[in-house]
């Protein structure tokens, strides 16, 4: 039985991943900002076989509440060995261009708040000498595009942060997994037109579940995004800046 903390537990991808943990009878501690949603998910995971499920209501932009939340998670789970960070917002790029306050909000939620969480989490896991930290970043963070570069900057920054953290925690036997999903059909992307490249959250969840089990470093989900992003990164900048991506 693993002791798992899921931060952003109401996200579609997190919910599907949590079901897989529940089927393995893991103990879960869920963090999110909406109590109705957390209650519904908690009941579901209990029926599906989770050893225990508790939830904690928190807007993750309240940085000073991160430590007390973590404290509570340790208490409830009687330890901690796996952390999944799965929340995020896909803010309107045009609005971010016009108004720094919006851009700042996007960066706070998608980058700063995660750093604020990872600081105490990393220190604790480093001390206990075991554990796994899995964080959902995005393929968007692999290259800045005109259509969403504020979000991309946050996710790209997050990926770099995780890369450094991975290497720091390697000697402490703690693995750091960077998850880079492509297009996923979730509430975040309700208004997008869906095509062949789109994946269901169930599929992405299975990938996350396996990657945690195998203690992987960086995964693209579904796998073909690794190659798509390889090509996108290879496009020379003089050409890329002219492309309407």
Partner 1 sequence: MQSTYQSWGNFPKVSQRIRSIPWRKKPLLLPETPDTVLAHGLGRSYGDVCLNNNGILLTTRKLNRFIQFDVDEGVLRCEAGVSLAEILALCVPQGWFLPVTPGTQFVTIGGAIANDVHGKNHHCAGTFGRHVLQFELLRSDGERLLCTPTSNEPYYAATIGGLGLTGLITWAEIKLKRISHRAMQVESIQFSQLDEFFELSQQSDQDYDYTVAWLDCNNSQALGRGIFFRGNHVAADEIPKDWKLPRFNRLPPLLRTMPINLPGFVLNRWTISAFNTFYYKKTRQSQLIDYQPFFYPLDAILEWKRLYGKNGFLQYQFVIPDHRMLKEILQKIVASGLGSFLAVLKTFGELASPGLLSFPRPGVTLALDFPIKGAVTFELLAQLDEKVREMGGAVYPCKDARLSARHFQAFYPQWTKFAEYIDPRFSSSFWRRVTETPLCVKS
Ligand X SMILES: NC(=O)c1ccc[n+]([C@@H]2O[C@H](COP(=O)([O-])OP(=O)(O)OC[C@H]3O[C@@H](n4cnc5c(N)ncnc54)[C@H](OP(=O)(O)O)[C@@H]3O)[C@@H](O)[C@H]2O)c1
**Beta bridge partners of residue 5, listed in sequence order:** 29, 83
229 binds ligand X (CB under 6 A): no
Cβ-based nearer residue to partner 1, 16 or 81: 16
Q: Which of residues 20-79 bind ligand X (CB under 6 A)?
A: 32-34, 37, 59-61
How far is CA 14 from each of CA 6, 20, 21, 136, 189, rounded to the nearest angstrom? Answer: 7, 10, 10, 10, 15
Joined together, the tokens standing for residue 12 give 């579609």
197 binds partner 1 (CB under 8 A): no
190 binds partner 1 (CB under 8 A): yes
Nearest residue to 66 via CA among 113, 135, 11: 113
112 binds ligand X (CB under 6 A): no
Q: Select from ligand X, partner 1, none the partner in contact with residue 67, using the beta carbon and a kind-dependent cut-off of 5 to 8 Å.
A: none
Q: Which of residues 114-143 bind ligand X (CB under 6 A)?
A: 136, 138
41 binds partner 1 (CB under 8 A): yes
DSSP string, 100-137: HHHHHHHHIIIIIHHHHHHHHHHHHHHHHT-EEEEEE-
The rounded Cα 121 to chain-centroid distance in angstroms is 14
Q: Across the chain, which distance is largest between two alpha carbons, in Å?
A: 55
- The contact set with partner 1 (CB under 8 A) reads 12, 36-37, 39-41, 43-44, 47-48, 187, 190-191
- The contact set with ligand X (CB under 6 A) reads 8, 10-13, 32-34, 37, 59-61, 86-89, 109, 136, 138, 181, 183-184, 186-189
């Amino acid at each position: 039985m693993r002791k798992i903390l899921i931060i952003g537990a109401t996200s579609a991808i997190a919910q599907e991943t949590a079901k897989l943990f529940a089927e393995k009878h893991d103990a879960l501690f869920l963090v999110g900002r909406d109590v109705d949603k957390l209650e519904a998910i908690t009941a579901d995971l209990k029926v599906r076989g989770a050893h225990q499920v508790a939830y904690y209501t928190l807007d993750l932009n309240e940085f000073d509440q991160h430590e007390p939340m973590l404290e509570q998670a340790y208490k409830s789970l009687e330890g901690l060995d796996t952390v999944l960070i799965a929340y995020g917002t896909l803010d309107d790029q045009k609005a971010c261009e016009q108004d720094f306050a919006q851009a700042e909000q996007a960066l706070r939620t998608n980058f700063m708040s995660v750093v604020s969480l990872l600081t105490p989490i990393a220190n604790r896991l480093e001390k206990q000498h075991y554990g796994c930290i899995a964080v959902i970043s995005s393929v968007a963070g692999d290259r800045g595009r005109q259509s969403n570069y504020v979000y991309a900057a946050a996710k790209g920054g997050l990926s770099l942060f995780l890369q450094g953290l991975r290497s720091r925690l390697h000697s402490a036997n703690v693995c750091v997994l960077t998850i880079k999903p492509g297009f996923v059909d979730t509430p975040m992307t309700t208004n997008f037109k869906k095509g062949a490249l789109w994946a269901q959250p169930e599929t992405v969840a299975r990938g996350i579940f396996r990657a945690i089990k195998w203690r992987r470093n960086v995964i693209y989900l579904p796998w073909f995004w690794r190659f798509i992003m390889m090509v996108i990164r290879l496009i020379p900048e003089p050409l890329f800046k002219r492309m309407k991506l």
